[in-house]
Structure 1
Amino acid sequence: MCPFVDIEQITDASIDEYVECPVDSKLLNAKFQSLDYDNCENVLYQREERQKNHRQLLKQQFARWVVMCFIGIFTAIIACSIDIAIHRLSTVKYSLLKSYFDETMKTSYLFIPVLLWIAWNSGFVLIAAILVAYGEPVAAGSGIPQIKCFLNGVMIPHVVRLFTLFCKVVGVVLSVVGGLAIGKEGPMIHSGAVVAAGISQGRSSTFRRDFKIFTYFRTDTEKRDFVSGGAAAGVSAAFGAPVGGVLFSLEEGASFWNQALTWRIFFASMMSTFTLNMIQSYIHGVPWQLSYPGLLNFGQFSDISYTGAEIPIYLVMAVVGGLLGALFNHINLKLCIFRKRHIRTPLGQVLEAVLVAAMTAVAAFLLIYFVEDCQALGKDPIVHPLQMYCLDGQYSSMAAIWFQTPEQSVKSLFHDPPDSYRPLTVALFGIVYFLLATWTYGLSVPSGLFIPCLLTGAAWGRLIGISVRGVFPDAEWANPGKFALVGAAAQLGGVVRMTISLTVILIEATGSISFGFPIMIVLMVAKWVGDLFNEGLYDIHVKLAGVPILPWEPPHLTSNIMASEVMSHPVTTFDMNETVGHVVNVLKKDLHEGFPVVDHINPAPNQPGRSTFGLLRGTITRSQLIVLLKNKAFTDPTTGIRGSNRLTLDHFREIYPRFPKIEQIHITEREKACVINLVPYMNPAPYTVFDNTSLPRIFKLFRGLGLRHLVVVDKNNEVIGIVTRKDLARYRFESHKGSKGLEELQMSFN
């Protein structure tokens, strides 16, 4: 088994041994709290439900569809804004660089355009890194791991705030224009999730504006469903794949699903695609032609058919994709560990991002300078052809790949004529871009992973296509562009390890369902091969952060572990009538988020060793207690005067989700003697298990019902412990280098 290692205490001597261990040997971070996807059916909830009529129910159902519609529309508008900004800034960038290169080639002062290239990249990336490192760190990366954790039931601070969206959108534009090996498609999933969270709550916590609409959606459960729709709308806007968006949200994101939610999410995805298509058609001067369904346009493949003889070649490419994907993830893991050890300050993170931007420009120039691959103008529809040392009427094919956005480069490798690139050109480009992409993902800038993987895979896939065409020069099926598509799918599948959703996304993006079977087979084999060595990159980054995420199934070899071994013990409990002073003291000293409400919480004098904590009556959360204290919902025992009027669920929705801390609640000494009746506010029928319940059964309850706490009771219904998400997440089944077994992780409180 892999030994337990604290990532903050890794030495130079142990780093190699450490990174060879499974990624899930990391610490679990205790700072992550859980979301509660189980409705608290207390007296207030039951009172509100009894007052509802048929008209109110129809209004809420209609509001769900309206919110999903707006989620799709606004996500598409953001996607269009990102695309327009990147296109126009990139046009200025490459036009300027081309003019300087063309001018200095006559004088051999090539250092001038190179320095300009470095300065451009570094300047734009500098701003993007500052926005993330000093503004909102959670805006870094694609955001997919964070959204995956949120939908799984883990509260990620600031992940769906409006300021996070601002840093994400502006940062990804600057990062792409800054030449980093990233794409804009991945961050669209995070952007759609933020849009969904904001619209569905009818308020902006960032600007402290409450529009007093959709207040009945201010619960963790409702918010989760809308965020699922936002993630799907983001995929749909990025790739023009509404069905793929729904499947992505199901396969990679949402942990809880139902049939009605599927239809609403599909509606949001379709609205996103339609809106983006309509806007893009107007921008391109062909109103209502509706031929621009997504940001990433693979173009139309003239010959995408295949024969049975090609399948073995595709299987070999799938194996290559799985191996390269595992290598990509392994290198990126080492780099992320290095960052955690040495690049901890915001200044260091900004400087690293600027360094990568500068090195990207240097690497691109060196490839353009040393690789001589001249092609005749007119073969490749490049917008900014760079002549370099080629003859008149020719351009550098290596420069053609670099002097455009990564999305355009993917399209070029798919559709350029067979003789547009020499084998050495695509081979060197693929190697360099692979290394740059592994270095780039994980920087403190917004960055998508899809395009770097597609572009890297398209490069080595086209190389294989060129080789196959050399062996079978007369074969109609030996089209390098088709092999580039297969390589792109294999590389992406080997890195992210998605199958169903990714297959549908690529089918919708290419517009060819007939080629769906080879794509599916390639993705499946690439995933299987990659899984032999490590996990998908998103899962790696989730575990690097120590997030207590729960997988789909309970860990193997846990059926003999009982609730009495898993639960937290002793348990902090409250009586049904508690003094304000005691509640305040407990909330200040105890960091737990949920507490059982019991009868007779003190053991009898003749039972000093009693291990139970009273007869269970219900449970109450920290946030509920905070609201009670904030609204003075207690009674003076001497006068019988209540501190406030009767509370309703609106009092809790009013400050959701930013509940104040206990230190922010002002309680006088006189008020501390008052009494709170917890009965109307507690959950009177919480889920419970006996102490001999197995871990897999507990796991299924948590995973299927979205629980935050599970009380453990004895045969007399007396509380003996409590199980939380972290208690379950610390058990993981390891499979590494032939060694398999169950490991219990440690908890970090840093």
Structure 2
Amino acid sequence: MKPLFSLESLDYDNIENQLFLEEEEQMSPMFLQCVEISRWVVCGLTGFLTGLLAFFVNIVVEILSSYKYQTVKSYIDGFTEDGRLCASMMLWTMLNLAFVLAGALAVAFFEPIAAGSGIPQIKCYLNGVKIPHVVRLKTLVIKVFGVICSVVGGLAVGKEGPMIHSGAVVAAGISQGRTTSLKKDFRIFEYFRRDTEKRDFVSAGAAAGVSAAFGAPVGGVLFSLEEGASFWNQMLTWRMFFASMISTFTLNFFRSFRHGKGGELSNPGLINFGQFENGAYKLYEIPIFMCMGAVGGLLGAGFNFLNYWLTIFRIRYIHRSFLQVTEAALAAVVSITVPFMLIYWSDDCQTLGEEQAVEHALQMFCPDGEYNSFATAFLNTPESSIRSLFHRPPGSYNSLTLFFFTFVYFFLACWTYGLTVSAGVFIPSLLLGAAWGRLIGSLLANCGVSIWADPGKYALMGAAAQLGGIVRMTLSLTVIMVEATGNVTYGLPIMLVLMTAKIVGDYFGEGLYDIHIKLQSVPFLAWDAPATSHSLTAREVMSSPVTCFSRIERVGTIVDVLSDTASKHNGFPIVSEFITSEVFLRRSVSSTVAVFVERTRLNQRRLMLKDFRDAYPRFPPIQSIHVSQDERECTMDLTEFMNPTPYTVPQETSLPRVFKLFRALGLRHLVVVNNENRVVGLVTRKDLARYRLGKHGLEELYLAQT
């Protein structure tokens, strides 16, 4: 992401200028009905393509992981006989390193915005911040390639988180009916080429991504509500749910053929936690579960604290591309070297039963018919290890194995999140929590309460606690966990665990996504203004002085104002005798000047709303428009392009009222006037984002300017 001062806001409030009103008057009921049908078509296509994309990622990861496992296992089995494992470890390391390097190089040198899970960026986009390249086709391609390499490369990552970003990109591309990356326009869905419509489809795409990742369509809708959407209505809810259901169905359908059971729809998501046959729990276990939630909150706070300082170190010292790739390569080597050393000394041998087959079982130094549980946990993909921790019978892991696995994986996952690779934190968090949760269950069982202390059940609660402690979500995670396990019985304890983890974690700091949003200096607006901020007024927070235009303005004057990079805002009130009534935006002005000059040369001065849609979203910068000296002396009538009814507030309005109006309506600028209705300032997103509630009360962040 770019620094705060170079980011722009999105226009989530429709500008009701003359062009907009003229087009609306020409709309017939049949056209409006076709537009509504088109919205459902776009959501359906979004769900279908997101599910298809998830299937592609899943099958490629399965094939490559299986090939890597078979290759490594054949070497290990051969070398354990004569006691030489060094060559096996080198082979394992080189395979992982090759995949990680490929993914890191693609992200670092071709599209850095594809790094990480993409959830913080999508949250910012839906909040109203224009993050460069966040929903580009190029970003999607690098994202998919990068996450495949990261997972197969053995990093402590998951492919589920990036699916949310991928679904959002798919929705953004389909809804515009073109791809600006390939400069291809299909001339469909042109009506949706504006920020308001695009935002709603991105919300649906994010929900479809969650649904494809976890097989949780309801959880996907709630995720967009809890974490992203800045606007909500009943029809949008239905369309999002429709996209989520189509996404789950598509992935389920294609995976059924992959597993040789065509048409048997029993694989709804990329990760399936499996059915918990014994879904019962005792009433007196609830306090234990809540204590586990507190542990998850503490561990999550520690995880976020370490990752915070690690990210600061990266920002300061590892900001060059080749250094970022080098760090990713180092993480790949350490991620296999440290576990391999622990595996070498591990003697946790378990019987390889026929009833419950162990995926990718590794014998190591164990007798025939047995496997090393520590080696199997690290060699498998994270999803397979989670299912094993949930469903393997009691005694499948000894306590020492679970302890060392938790300890090592905690630091590996913390280090990995933030690398220049495409990767998510959902699955590593679940795996980490499942390990220490099963450890607690095993300890309780050893204390003589094995009748009800099922280790798999405690692994599930630990997974929920750890994930909640790191990302601090409650409502959507509860539903996702319930849908993924297929057992609503666990709904109440999971909810209590997540709430406890959030309360404890919030006491020590913020969630992981919020931390990274702030570290990237994004002006993210919460739902409400900071507490104790009623004493601040619009006059104290606004940007001033304000550059204004007249209704009839010289082209040269407009070009000079737009070329002034020192301007603190991109909105320009149009005033008449210092009385405000309209607002014009920088992007609209640039596009208007460009089309005006072109039409002037062709003796055609009439502009249409279609001209702005054709330029959306990459409006031409004023520097790219050549204006001759004669054209500079021409005048433009801005009446038909300006917003004739902008929102205004008196300068004595309190900050919470300004914040509520700005946030709820999705504004980009808010005009501040004095008692004589004269323009005295503009409130921008940056003006509101710089205030926060700190340890010593209300704090103002002093942000650097370019």
TM-score class normalised by the smaller sequence:
over 0.9
Q: Structure 1 residues 633 and 615 mapped into 2: Cα distance closer, same or farther (>3 Å)?
A: farther
Residues in 1 aligned to 2:269 and 2:598: alpha-carbon distance in whole angstroms: 55
Q: CA 1:240–1:224 in structure 2 vs 1: closer, same or farther (change >3 Å)?
A: same
Name the residue aligned to 2:253.
278
**Percent sequence identity over aligned pairs:** 56
- TM-score, length of structure 2 as denominator length: 0.98
Q: How does 1:58-97 map to 2 (within 5 A)?
A: 58-97=33-72
Runs of 4+ with >4 A deviation: 633-636
Could you tell me how far 1:635 is from its partner in structure 2? Answer: 9.5
Match of 2:433 in 1: 457
Which of the pair is proportionally richer in helix? 2
Shift of 1:461: 0.3
C-alpha offsets along residues 116-135 of structure 1, whole Å, 9 cap, x if unaligned? 11111111110101111111
Alignment equivalent of 1:424, drawn from 400, 403, 407 = 400
Deviation at 1:644, TM superposition (A): 2.5
Which residue does the alignment assign to 2:580? Answer: 616
Q: Distance in 2 between matches of 1:278 and 1:416?
A: 28
Equivalent residues in 2 for 1:673-684, closer than 5 Å:
673-684=633-644
Q: Which amino acid aligns with 2:447?
A: V
Match of 2:367 in 1: 391
Match 1:224 to one of 199, 202, 215? 199
The 1:481/1:670 distance shift into structure 2, 3 A limit, reads same
* Residue number among 83, 100, 118 corresponding to 1:143 in the alignment: 118
Report the equivalent of 2:697: 741
Deviation of 1:472 (Å): 2.6
| Contact persistence 1:633–1:647 (CA under 8 A) | no
Aligned-residue Cα RMSD (Å) equals 1.4
CA distance in structure 1 between the partners assigned to 2:637 and 2:143 by the alignment: 45
Match of 1:705 among 665, 668, 675: 665
Matches within 5 A, 1:598-677: 598-600=575-577, 614-632=578-596, 643-677=603-637
User: Does the aligned pair in 2 maintain the 1:631–1:644 contact within 8 Å?
Assistant: no
The Cα of 1:715 is off from its aligned counterpart by 2.4
Shift of 1:634: 9.1
- The Cα shift of 1:109 comes to 2.4
Please give the alpha-carbon distance, in whole angstroms, between the structure 2 residues aligned to 1:56 and 1:479.
59
Deviations 1:152-197 (A, max 9, x none): 0000000000000001000000000000000000000000000000
- Describe the shift of the 1:743–1:473 C-alpha distance in structure 2 as closer, same or farther (beyond 3 A): closer
SS in structure 2 of the partner of residue 472 of structure 1: helix
The one-letter amino acid paired with 1:593 is: N
CA-to-partner distance for each residue in 1:474-530, whole Å, 9 max, x for gaps?
51x211000000000000000000000000000000000111000000000000000
Take 1:571 and 1:428, find their aligned partners in 2: how far apart are those partners?
61
Deviation at 1:645, TM superposition (A): 3.6
Q: Is the 8 A contact 2:554 2:636 kept in 1?
A: yes
Q: Secondary structure at the match of 1:748?
A: coil
Structure-2 separation of matches of 1:253 and 1:709: 21
- Residue 445 of structure 1 aligns to a residue whose secondary structure is coil
How far did 1:325 drift? 0.4
Paired residue for 2:676? 716
TM-score, length-scaled by structure 1: 0.92
1:748 to partner: Cα distance? 2.7
* DSSP 3-state at the match of 1:632: helix
2:686 alignment counterpart: 726
Deviation at residue 632 of structure 1 after TM alignment: 2.2
**Displacement of 1:107 after TM fit?**
2.5
Q: How many residues align?
A: 702
The partner residue of 1:306 within 258, 273, 281 is 281
1:667-711 Cα shifts (integer Å, max 9, x gaps): 111111111110010001100011111111110111110000011
Give unmatched runs, 5+ long, in structure 2.
none
| Alignment CA distance shift 1:29-1:474 (3 Å) | closer
Contact map agreement 1:42 1:684 (CA 8 A) in 2: yes
Alignment partner, residue 487 of structure 1: 462
1:635–1:674 CA contact under 8 A, matched in 2: no
Deviation by residue 1:52-83 (Cα, 9 ceiling, x = unmatched): 11000000000000000000000000000000
Please tell me whether the aligned partners of residues 36 and 153 of structure 1 are also in contact (alpha carbons under 8 angstroms): yes
1:372–1:666 CA distance, 2 compared to 1 (3 A): same
1:385, distance to aligned residue in structure 2 (A): 2.1
Distance 1:532 1:383 in 2: 40
Q: Distance in 2 between matches of 1:280 and 1:645?
A: 56
Tell me by how many angstroms 1:747 deviates: 1.5
Q: Which amino acid aligns with 2:412?
A: L
User: 1:606 maps to which residue?
Assistant: none
| Amino acid paired to 1:716 | E
- The unaligned stretches of length 5 or more in structure 1 are 1-26, 601-613
SS at match of 2:694: strand
- Deviates most, 120-129 or 583-592: 583-592
Contact 1:634 1:675 in 2 (8 A): no
In 2, are the aligned partners of 1:472 and 1:478 still within 8 Å (CA)?
Answer: no
Contact conserved, 1:76 with 1:272, CA < 8 A, in 2?
yes
